[in-house]
Amino acid sequence: MDRIVIQGGKALQGRIPISGAKNAALTLMPCALLTDEPLTLRNLPRLADVDSFGHLLNELGVATSVEGARKGEFGRVMTFRAANIASTVAPYDIVRKMRASILVLGPLLARAGEATVSLPGGCAIGNRPIDLHLKALQALGAEIELAAGYVKATAPPGGLTGGTISFPTVSVGATENALMTAVLAKGTTVIENAAREPEITDLAQCLIAMGAEIEGLRSDTLTVHGKDRLHGATYAVMPDRIETGSYACAAMLTGGSLELVGAREDSMHAILSGLADAGALIEFKPGAIKVTGDGAIKPLSISTAPFPAFPTDMQAQFMAMLSLARGTSLLTETIFENRYMHVPELSRMGADIEVRGRSAVVRGVEGLVGAPVMATDLRASMSLVLAGLAAKGETQVNRIYHLDRGYERLEEKLQAVGAEIERVGGD
């Protein structure tokens, strides 16, 4: 299996182009199921998860075509066309690999009147149920059956009807499924306590480009006036705020300066204010955010929570950064249980971290030392890469298929700003 080998200690300097957001891509792609006309997505990141989602859509009868990136662009352009729905079943083999497959449930149901999706199993970052997704579909009139590890949703004979969906807790995926279903339901749907993540706004904007009528963008109440049909559109995926934040941490950890080209400030206030509190110099340039660290990292107290608060997807990378802070930090994870699997690995590199229930006390150390490490989820893997960039000596990050799910051309981007990092094949 491939691994990433890093010789740490180089201050990173230069420009890193930011890719299209993975989590936006994974909710924009299933929108193709909502129309028989082509949906073209620009700025799609080249990621394993995007490929897997494309394969899933192919299984459902969606024709896909890819155009290469334009010169100077990392992303690619893909066109999806679901002239007919060939199958309404998302099989176990695909869902098992990628939990976001659950996002075909709503669109298939809305377009074809039924959908059968394998239940996503437990996940490395905690037990992730789908009850909120199912409640949303039921509120629009769907019948739900669970059998043999699959969930089957069926629309009533007269089709789905708008209703009020009131989420007891905020869920990004359930809000996305609710929105993608409501756009084709009869009448008006009100989604209360909706997630406000920028990727939800990206989804709503793409649906509007396809002819949907949605009010309340960026708020926690979305009102959808259902349409009989949607049409094709061309839409550009928003830049990845988590990739941006991850490379910003790399600038801080190495005492370097990185211009993150294409990054968008409005999607990442909590991340940027965390970086600024940690001592980053942040400059807003036309079309870029420049983050400079002077090597002195200040400790922080941060709690993850739904947007606009600090995202759980940045917790592991901030922990790597704070492991070198001058003082003690407190990180609290409120979204997922069991999202501290990077802690023992960071500790092996010399970090001083103590997990107390949902919180982690991070006592800053003078330096980290390279070691062979591995992580069991995407953001945890990135935290190890970041620690490796700052550590003395060689770090080997194993199980890098996690990184390939979420960071486009990681080594290439980091090499270009002076990191000594390479991918090597292995057993």
Q: Active-site residue numbers?
A: 123
Q: Which is nearer to ligand UD1, 335 or 371 (CB)?
A: 335
Q: Does 312 bind ligand UD1 (CB under 6 A)?
A: yes
Q: Which is nearer to ligand UD1, 236 or 314 (CB)?
A: 314
Across 304-413, where does the E strand assignment appear?
328-332, 352-356, 359-363, 372-374, 394-398
Q: Does 120 bind ligand UD1 (CB under 6 A)?
A: no
Q: How far is the CB of 174 from ligand UD1 (least distance, A)?
A: 5
Tell me which residues in 333-352 interact with ligand UD1 (CB under 6 A).
335-336
| 172, 302, 320, 400: residue in contact with ligand UD1 (rule CB under 6 A) | 172
Q: How far is the CB of 170 from ligand UD1 (least distance, A)?
A: 6
| 58, 65, 84, 129: residue in contact with ligand UD1 (rule CB under 6 A) | 129
Spatial distance between the Cα atoms of 85 and 108, rounded to a whole number of angstroms: 8
Instruction: Check residue 331 and give left, alpha or beta (phi > 0: left; psi -120 to 50: alpha).
Output: beta
Strands 372-374 and 352-356: unpaired
Taking residue 46's Cβ as centre, other Cβ atoms within 10 Å add up to 16
| 51, 93, 131, 192: residue in contact with ligand UD1 (rule CB under 6 A) | 131
Query: In the Cβ-directed half-sphere of 236, how many Cα atoms lie within 13 Å?
Result: 8
| 58, 65, 164, 169: residue in contact with ligand UD1 (rule CB under 6 A) | 169
Q: Which is nearer to ligand UD1, 358 or 392 (CB)?
A: 358
Q: Which is nearer to ligand UD1, 74 or 336 (CB)?
A: 336
| 33, 56, 117, 132: residue in contact with ligand UD1 (rule CB under 6 A) | 132
For 148, residues 6+ apart whose C-beta sits below 8 A from its C-beta are none
Spatial distance between the Cα atoms of 261 and 264, rounded to a whole number of angstroms: 9
To which H or E segment does residue 223 belong?
Answer: strand 221-225
Token readout for 132 is: 């909120």
Residues lying near ligand UD1 in the complex (CB under 6 A) are found at 23, 26, 100, 128-133, 169, 171-174, 195, 311-313, 335-336
